[in-house]
Amino acid sequence: MHSNKAIIVRFWGTRGSIPTPGPGTVIFGGNTVCIEVDCSDDSLIILDSGTGIRLLGYDIMRRQVRKIKLFITHTHWDHIQGLPYFAPFYHPDCEIDVYGPLYYGKTFEDVLSVQMDHFFFPVQQKELRAAIRYHDLKEGDCIQFPGLSIQTKFMNHPVITLGYKLIFDQGTVTFTGDHEPYSLFQHHDNTSIKELKQQMEDNIIDFIRDTDYLVMEAQYSAHEYETRQGWGHSSFISTLQTAHAAKVKHLYIIHHDPDHSDAFLKDTELRLKQHVHDKLDNAFKVQIAREGSSFVV
């Protein structure tokens, strides 16, 4: 996988929960989460497989890339619902390695196969023509490729979810998937529980620490979060606080709420930049991820 080419990270899907096509989402995007990491001449890495992976699949076929490493954070619909429409799955020359968390004794392959049961989709998983290999992951695993290592960390979400840290010679990219800060989840007056939650949150910060490019979800405003505690998602301010505590250099916010329009997200981005400038002393650069945009590591 090692190559001298630049490492380019592209956002093919940035929305959370459900696709939101329409005139109000053309800037920040309506497809659900999918991120491409183009780091080699003959293969590439994909993080999550929301509806954005459909168009990515067509682009992969156009580029004649035949080796793909797909890392899925978890199997909630918005992170896998594009998989049945991923063109390389149907091409016999494609080699696809699919990585994801082991679920309570069920293999990751078994869990993924459910959405392609004939009750839900006309093509079953066993009928796909690509050479597909499935890999079960757990917290603390480190997957090694030439010039790249990928580390895993459990995040806080209602189903088992893995965050991925991609460590290149050129820099580090961390993608959290879905996460709700332990320190905000289920307030409790018991001192030992508070200390445990803080320790768990500190472990997340240690995993993210010194990341060059952090892609982290923030689905809610502080006001919205008040009625959505325990749903497994972060607020904008809590994500800024995590990025600041971990001393990251760049923060890209993803997993936009279906009810957040382009106008809302534009205004939010301006306020977040101002907050970093005024309250965090310009400690890092923050952007709200736009579908179709990219950055170079």
Whole-number pLDDT of residue 182: 84
Considering its fold, how many domains does the chain have in total? 1
Question: What is the pLDDT averaged over residues 60-73?
Answer: 97
Q: Which helix (H) or strand (E) holds 11?
A: strand 8-13
CB 30, CB 21: distance < 8 Å: yes
Q: What is the largest CA-CA distance in the chain?
A: 58
1 within domain boundaries: no
Question: CA 176 to CA 216: how far, in whole Å?
Answer: 5
Domain around 66: 8-296
- Cβ atoms within 10 Å of 265's Cβ, excluding its own: 21
Question: CA 262 to CA 288: how far, in whole Å?
Answer: 11
193 within domain boundaries: yes
Whole-number pLDDT of residue 240: 97
What is the crossing angle of helices 262-279 and 236-245, to 10°? 40
Whole-number pLDDT of residue 194: 76
Question: What is the pLDDT averaged over residues 223-231?
Answer: 93
43 within domain boundaries: yes
Dihedral sign, Cα of residue 166, residue 171, residue 175, residue 176:
positive
Torsion of CA 62, 65, 68, 74, to 10 degrees: -20
Question: What tokens does 226 get?
Answer: 């008040």
CB 73, CB 177: distance < 8 Å: yes
Task: Place 216 in a pLDDT band, splitting at 50, 70 and 90.
Answer: very high
Q: At residue 188, does pLDDT exceed 80? A: no
27 within domain boundaries: yes
175 within domain boundaries: yes
Q: Pick the range with the lowest mean pLDDT from 15-24, 39-48, 91-100, 145-154.
A: 39-48
Q: At residue 81, does pLDDT exceed 80? A: yes
Task: Place 289 in a pLDDT band, splitting at 50, 70 and 90.
Answer: very high
* Token pair 């736009």: residue: 290
What would the pLDDT profile of 40-51 be if each residue is shown by its tens digit? 878 899 999 999
- Residue 35, amino acid: I
2 within domain boundaries: no
79 within domain boundaries: yes
Q: At residue 190, does pLDDT exceed 80? A: no
Whole-number pLDDT of residue 186: 57
Q: What is the CATH number of the domain that holds 198?
A: 3.60.15.10
Question: What tokens does 90 get?
Answer: 């149907």
Task: Place 60 in a pLDDT band, splitting at 50, 70 and 90.
Answer: very high
CB 210, CB 246: distance < 8 Å: yes
Task: Report yes or no on whether pTM surpasses 0.75.
Answer: yes
3 within domain boundaries: no
